[in-house]
């Protein structure tokens, strides 16, 4: 977040344009900016490893679902099976769905 604030600061942008690169940041400020950049890179790397784990977990589940016993799965079946396998704690709201459904008795019209 600090790096984003630094990039969007119009006062700093104008100072950079006015004085140029060598005089823009004193040594102490350069260290702070370096820390911000390193922190941003670290966060990017952390996110990359987290998404790698999710991908590997997904392919592992796909391999389990595409066994020789399930060779008749179509792409649509596989997509639905993987969606169910990768969804966590998905509980349907049956009461909400039933109450939202408008029932119509046979021979009667609903207004």
**Cα angle: 2, vertex 44, 82; to 5 degrees:** 130
Domain tally for the chain? 1
Residue 98 counted as domain residue = no
3-class DSSP assignment, residue 6: helix
Looking at the domain assignment, is residue 111 inside a domain? no
In a domain, 108, yes or no: no
Range of the domain at 64: 2-85
Q: Looking at the chain, how many residues does it have?
A: 111
**Would 107 be classed as within a structural domain?**
no
Residue listed under structure tokens 């820390």: 35
Task: Establish if 72 belongs to a structural domain.
Answer: yes
pLDDT digits (tens, 9 = 90+) for 53-64: 777 777 787 777
For the entire predicted model, the pTM comes to 0.31
Is 104 contained in some domain?
A: no
Is residue 110 within 8 Å of residue 102, measured between CB atoms?
yes
pLDDT digits (tens, 9 = 90+) for 4-17: 666 677 777 777 77
Compute the Cα dihedral for 48, 51, 56, 62 and give only its sign. Answer: negative
């Amino acid at each position: 977040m600090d790096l984003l604030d630094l990039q969007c600061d119009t006062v700093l942008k104008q100072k950079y344009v006015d004085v140029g690169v060598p005089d823009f940041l004193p040594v102490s400020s350069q260290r702070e900016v370096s820390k911000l950049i390193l922190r941003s890179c670290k966060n990017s790397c952390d996110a990359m490893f987290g998404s790698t784990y999710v991908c590997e977990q997904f392919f592992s589940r796909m391999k389990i679902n595409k066994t020789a016993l399930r060779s008749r799965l179509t792409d649509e079946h596989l997509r639905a099976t993987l969606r169910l396998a990768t969804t966590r704690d998905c509980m349907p709201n049956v009461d909400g769905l039933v109450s939202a459904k408008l029932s119509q008795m046979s021979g009667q019209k609903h207004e």
